[in-house]
Amino acid sequence: MDKKELVFKVLMESDKPLRPGDIAERAGLSKEDVDKAIKSLKKEGKIESPKRCYYQAKKQ
């Protein structure tokens, strides 16, 4: 599983929006890797930011 998929999986499994630091901790990745993955996932429209600096997977 690549880093982007791992970040998306963490967000899918969370019942509330997470901050990048929380995602990094749960996924076992560096914050820089998480930031890159978030940027890419946002561009793809798979995640959203309900409030500043918090992210969640878009509900289908």
Class of domain 3-57: mainly alpha
Alpha helices in the chain (DSSP H): 3-13, 20-27, 31-44
Vertex 60: Cα angle to 36 and 31 (nearest 5):
20
Residue-range domain boundaries for the chain: 3-57
pLDDT at residue 60 greater than cutoff 90: no
Q: Residues 21-58: pLDDT tens digits?
A: 999 999 999 999 999 999 999 999 999 999 999 999 99
Q: Cα separation of 5 and 59, whole Å?
A: 16
